[in-house]
Amino acid sequence: MSKLTLDRILQSQGFGSRKWCSELIAAGEVSIAGKTITDNRVAIETSGLVFKIFDESWVYHRHVYIALNKPADFECSRKASHHPGVLTILPEQFTRRDVQPVGRLDHDTTGLLLMSDDGPFIHAQSSPKRHIPKVYAATTHDPVTPELVAKLLAGVKLHDEPAPLAAVTCRLLAPHRLEIVLEQGKYHQVKRMLAAAGNHCVALRRSQIGGLKLDALGLAEGEWCYLDDAQLVLLKPD
């Protein structure tokens, strides 16, 4: 059990400074279980807490774990330069509570992107030492041949990499599409591996991280959801 004053609760959820949150409470903009709360000093149990601000319901989360179906032309950066940042897709309070992308997808790559404000979770998910497989569907410029698949499985040498990098699995999906599973998470890895194997990637979508499948989440492009405990378990290595 954990109790916090209401102003601290709202601040922790990204709704602004304690002073601003206290003003919201005093103005009667916050309610719990249908009762308007105007005293910012009242201690509230956070476990299972649902509150309303401006008549919009929010569930208290000590940390948030989010899955986003990333559209094209969004950057996975808090300081985007050439395209909008993925944080602009989420409610603005997530920026204030320091939610960050877990790893990066190129601006033109779509699909499953994790986001969180839990530093150890972000570090663990980003670490190549954990060998968490990630599944991609790549559209290629030239037809996918058995020789191309064989090269990707055997390993290709990339510039600045000390050893060849190989796909965990690789299979043909269509004449110009293949599914490739990687564990390393190197910079532009799928695109660079395809180039090194003699082809060119023209579109890329990440469909799965660990056991978490984007299709199972039912998210259209640009939609997001919180991940529950059962879904977070799917992100752990076998």
CATH 3.30.70.580 fits 65-128+212-233, yes or no: yes
Q: What's the pLDDT score for residue 194?
A: 96
Which segments in the chain show pLDDT lower than 70? 1, 80, 238
Portions of the chain given CATH number 3.30.70.1560: 133-209
CA distances to 17, 127, 199, 214 from 179, rounded to whole Å, are 46, 22, 14, 14
Q: What's the pLDDT score for residue 160?
A: 83
Q: What's the pLDDT score for residue 161?
A: 84
Q: What's the pLDDT score for residue 1?
A: 59
Portions of the chain given CATH number 3.10.290.10: 3-59
Q: What's the pLDDT score for residue 104?
A: 85
The DSSP symbol for 68 reads E
User: Which amino acids are annotated catalytic?
Assistant: 106
Superfamily of domain 133-209: Alpha-L RNA-binding motif (3.30.70.1560)
The DSSP symbol for 89 reads G
Q: What's the pLDDT score for residue 175?
A: 96
d(CA 27, CA 120): 37
d(CA 181, CA 169): 5
Which tokens is 126 given?
A: 């980003």
Q: What's the pLDDT score for residue 80?
A: 66
Q: What's the pLDDT score for residue 30?
A: 95
Q: What's the pLDDT score for residue 111?
A: 97
Portions of the chain given CATH number 3.30.70.580: 65-128+212-233
* Residue 121: other Cβ atoms inside 10 A: 16
d(CA 197, CA 192): 9
Q: What's the pLDDT score for residue 238?
A: 67
**Which pTM does this prediction carry?**
0.91
What's the CATH architecture for 3-59?
A: Roll (3.10)
